[in-house]
């Protein structure tokens, strides 16, 4: 039996909240670093545009509207009501530059909805550069003139443990069969527990979910 992934469940719920900020096609959203666009279906009622650098071999990018790096998005200032950027900034060499670019393309009062890892194995190598603490997010906000709406763990401590046990079960030597089986069982148990008892008051999370708001008085240049 495969281990359920609490992070994917909570990321989709976060995306659902983001999509609910708009009610019709006048509300413009950019999915920055869209990849295979796993949340596009949630944004069907608003005007969604998708941007990606499109460098991963074998990945389908036919749905991408803007082929670009997220540090340099070829649109006018103040175009979007909301920027959605999920599990992308760890792959950007200059994440602060990307967040500055999001600030530029947001309307005054617009929001950047972000998720990125705090504790996670290297992936999509060699394009994996950073992990972000809650204090990094506050620093970015202060430096770039965002208001912090939310900085919260995406999943709870049990979800982080589930990820750790699942990873270990696949990376231990083959001869440690019983230990691998034990870890897989523990991973499933803690993943299921995280979905019913999301503990953020202990331990640490695997990812953070963040909402940063461009102040109403920010000029559109």
The H or E element containing residue 153 is strand 147-153
Give the Å distances, CA to CA, from 44 to 49, 63, 127, 142: 11, 14, 30, 33
Count of CB atoms situated within 10 Å of the CB of 153? 22
What pLDDT score does 221 carry? 46
Q: Write the pLDDT tens digit of every residue in 18-65.
A: 999 999 999 999 999 999 999 999 999 999 999 999 988 888 999 999
Given this model, what pLDDT does residue 219 score? 60
Q: Which CATH class is domain 6-155+205-213?
A: alpha beta
* pTM (predicted TM-score): 0.95
For 139-186, the pLDDT digits (tens) are 999 999 999 999 999 999 999 999 999 999 999 999 999 999 999 999
pLDDT band at 101 (very low <50, low <70, confident <90, very high): very high
- C-beta neighbour count of 129 within 10 angstroms: 13
Q: Which residue has the tokens 């963040």?
A: 210
d(CA 102, CA 106) in angstroms, rounded, equals 6
- Per DSSP, helices labelled H in the chain are 6-19, 95-105, 134-144, 157-171, 177-196
User: Which residues on neighbouring strands pair with residue 83, listed in sequence order?
Assistant: 30, 112
């Amino acid at each position: 039996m495969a281990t359920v992934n609490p992070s994917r469940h909570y990321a989709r719920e976060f995306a659902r909240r983001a999509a609910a900020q708009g009610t019709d096609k006048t509300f413009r959203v950019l999915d920055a670093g869209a990849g295979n666009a796993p949340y596009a279906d949630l944004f069907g009622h608003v005007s969604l545009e998708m941007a990606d650098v499109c460098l991963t071999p074998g990945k389908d990018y036919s749905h991408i509207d803007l082929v670009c790096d997220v540090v340099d998005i070829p649109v006018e200032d103040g175009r979007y009501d909301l920027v959605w950027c999920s599990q992308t900034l760890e792959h950007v060499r200059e994440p602060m530059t990307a967040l500055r670019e999001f600030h530029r393309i947001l309307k005054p009062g617009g929001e950047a909805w972000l998720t990125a890892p705090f504790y996670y194995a290297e992936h999509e190598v060699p394009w994996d550069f950073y992990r972000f603490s809650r204090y990094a997010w506050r620093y970015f906000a202060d430096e770039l003139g965002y208001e912090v709406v939310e900085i919260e763990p995406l999943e709870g401590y049990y979800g982080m443990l589930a990820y750790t046990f699942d990873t270990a079960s696949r990376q231990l030597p083959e001869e440690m069969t019983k230990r691998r089986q034990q870890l897989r069982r523990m991973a499933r148990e803690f993943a299921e527990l995280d979905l019913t008892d999301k503990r953020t008051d202990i331990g640490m999370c695997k990812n953070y979910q963040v909402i940063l708001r461009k102040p109403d008085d920010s000029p559109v240049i």
